[in-house]
Amino acid sequence: MNKYKEILSQWEAPDGKPTEQAWAEMQAKIARSEASPSPRIIRFSWKPMMAVAAAAALIIGLIVLWPNQMLRQVTAQAGAHEMVTLPDQSQVDLNAGSTISFTDPWEGDRQVKLDGQAFFEVVKGGKFSVVTTNGVVEVLGTSFDVFARKQRFAVECRTGKVKVTSNHQEVDIVPGYRAEVIDGQLTVSEFDMARGDWRMGEFNYEHAPLVDVFEELKRQFNVQITWPDLANRFYTGRFSNKNLEEALQLICVPMGLKFEMRDNATVLITEGRVSFR
């Protein structure tokens, strides 16, 4: 305080006030200043609040506007087929080692994603699409078979009319005709509708890659099969999924191969003809 007095004594009292009065007023101000610290300034930004509000609005919007749909996925395991009823009551027979996925219920166009092989019996209605990595099949109401594994893509029409699109190419097929991608080209050919097909356990091939035939055999019997280099080997014939040994004979004998069934889950294929006892 003495220091403050020394400073004040060197100044004239404002407005003619005595020095002692000026000192008293200054002392009161100092006391109030020490008792009440300077107010803290908080800078407020609307940006964080706006971000939070936007996120909340998005979540609410998704809850309110998101369709009441559920993604369904069905897989037929090796050695088994699966029958699937779609939201519109269309029926799908799913071959072994195949998967379909679709939303349930449908809103708008009917669409199914397929990886593998399936036979569709589609009830009449709006556009129905089967989407694969190799192409798309579109119908209104019909029955047809779709094969889509790796690079292979083929569609067989049983009833009605089917539009097939692949590699920017498009064809329409009717009962008894087959659309297939061969060397990048979408081709159309006839097939025998009277023959048995995979739904009855019958598998028919005409100049098919032999590796693809053995791959199908693995799926149908749920076995592991090893084979030598079969590049550029093609098979014409058939097999049934009722008896593994018989199926192996039908494939291997005409192809000059022999097989060894090491157990119920392992088969070894080698070059050389089967010897019958």
265 & 205 share domain: yes
pLDDT of residue 118: 98
174 & 205 share domain: no
Counted residue by residue, the chain has a size of 277
Burial class (CB in 10 A: 0-12, 13-18, 19+), 166: buried
| Residue after which a domain boundary falls, among 164, 190, 216 | 190
Q: What is the CATH number of the domain that holds 208?
A: 3.55.50.30
Nearest to 173, CA basis, from 152, 158, 194, 151: 158
181 & 207 share domain: no
Two tokens at 21? Answer: 């009065």
Answer yes or no: are the C-beta atoms of 226 and 248 closer than 8 Å.
no
131 & 155 share domain: yes
Query: Per-residue pLDDT tens for 172-209?
Result: 999 999 999 999 999 999 999 998 899 999 999 999 99
Domain membership of residue 124 as a residue range = 70-190
220 & 251 share domain: yes
107 & 20 share domain: no
Whether residue 195 is contained in a domain is answered as no
Amino acid at 188: V
209 & 182 share domain: no
**Is 0.75 topped by the overall pTM?**
no
Q: How far is 193 from 94, CA to CA, in rounded Å? A: 19
| Residue after which a domain boundary falls, among 134, 169, 190 | 190
Q: Can you name the residues that pair with 203 across neighbouring β-strands? A: 239
β 224-226/266-271 pair status: parallel
Answer yes or no: are the C-beta atoms of 171 and 188 closer than 8 Å.
yes
Q: How far is 225 from 228, CA to CA, in rounded Å? A: 10
Residues 6+ apart with CB under 8 A from 245: 261
Residues of the chain where predicted confidence (pLDDT) is lower than 70: 1-68, 273-277
Q: Identify how many contiguous H helices and E strands the chain contains and give both numbers.
A: 5, 18
Place of tokens 């995979």: 198
Whether residue 139 is contained in a domain is answered as yes
186 & 211 share domain: no
pLDDT of residue 62: 39
The helix, strand and coil proportions of the chain, stated in percent and rounded to the nearest 5, come to: 25, 40, 35
91 & 181 share domain: yes
Nearest to 73, CA basis, from 97, 101, 52, 96: 101
Answer yes or no: are the C-beta atoms of 146 and 175 closer than 8 Å.
no
What is residue 110's three-state secondary structure?
strand
227 & 180 share domain: no
206 & 246 share domain: yes
80 & 126 share domain: yes
Answer yes or no: are the C-beta atoms of 141 and 122 closer than 8 Å.
yes
